[in-house]
Amino acid sequence: MSIAVAPEVAAALARGGAVVALESTIICHGMPYPKNLQTAVEVEAVVRDGGAIPATIAILDGVPHVGLSSEQLKRMAISGRQFQKTARRDIAHVVGIPIFVTGGIGGVHRHGEQTMDISSDLTELGKTPVAVISAGVKSILDIPRTLEYLETQGVTVAAYRTNEFPSFFTEISGCQNAYIRTWALFGTWGTFPVELKSFLVPCRVDSPEECAKIIHANKNLDLGSGILIAVPIPTQDAASGNLIESAIQKALKEAEEKRIIGNAITPFMLERVKELTGGSSLEANIALVKNNARLGAEIAVALSNLQKKGKNRMGRSAL
């Protein structure tokens, strides 16, 4: 199958420039039109402002596209859920883009030990050498089991300027543990007094340059697995995090009562949480995606500079 690579993306890759892959799911499944189109354009602008070339990924008319035109972005935004969500995200890696920005990756669903509902994102990260920049995993998931699964897959997990794995809408993940444990202890959701536990990451990075060094080393070692760099949502945008987390718990309870499982649970949860929070979850989602894109661009530039320095040193040595 041929892959359509946008000219500016191909040119940037050919000269070893900074390129950031972006998902298209958020355009079709994440929010309504025209908010989705506005967000897609703004996220691409954030990447450009950071000195990198954005490459939004989508399959159009049966052909994988790496980098979309404004007309193609609008087509996807208007069509929305007529576009089907695909399971594999390694098209960007196939054409040589090492960095992928998204909101939050999938993971082990809550009660996954019973349902075995585990996102293919995790196994994909285990076999695809791409660095994913996200706000952790979606907060409707089971964070500790997701981290355990990533370890099993050999995925390097790092957090940006923090020691604790973030929980998408909130900067920390400890608050989620209370709800998970109350279910285990009492068989129902509730805010029972339990000890909170933070989910620490094995690696902390404090600059785009540090991130670039890890990505560069992973490539040179030819490990074959990916890297997850978790970026906490900005403090000013996490102010409503507790409200959103409460809405998530309510929506989870409703989903269980209605026996909504499998692929149907994520769209139900996103829509219900948006309703319960009066739309604040949508605004927080947009803010964290832009924040991830900003850092992704900085890492892409740092990685490009690092690789160019390496090539220059090799060239001088050859002389």
Q: Please pick, among 44, 138, 164, 245, the residue that the annotation labels catalytic.
A: 138
Q: Return the number of other C-beta atoms located less than 10 Å from residue 239's C-beta.
A: 12
Please answer whether residues 133 and 159 qualify as being in contact, where contact means their C-beta atoms are separated by less than 8 angstroms: no
Asked if residue 43 lies in contact with residue 54, where contact means CB atoms within 8 angstroms, the answer is yes
- Which residues does 152 contact at the CB level (< 8 Å), separation at least 6? 126
What does R_g of the chain's alpha carbons equal in angstroms?
19
23 catalytic per annotation: yes
* Residue 258 a catalytic site member: no
- How far apart are alpha carbons 196 and 206 in whole angstroms? 26
**Which residue in 23, 124, 164, 171 is the catalytic one?**
23
Q: Which residues are catalytic?
A: 23, 138
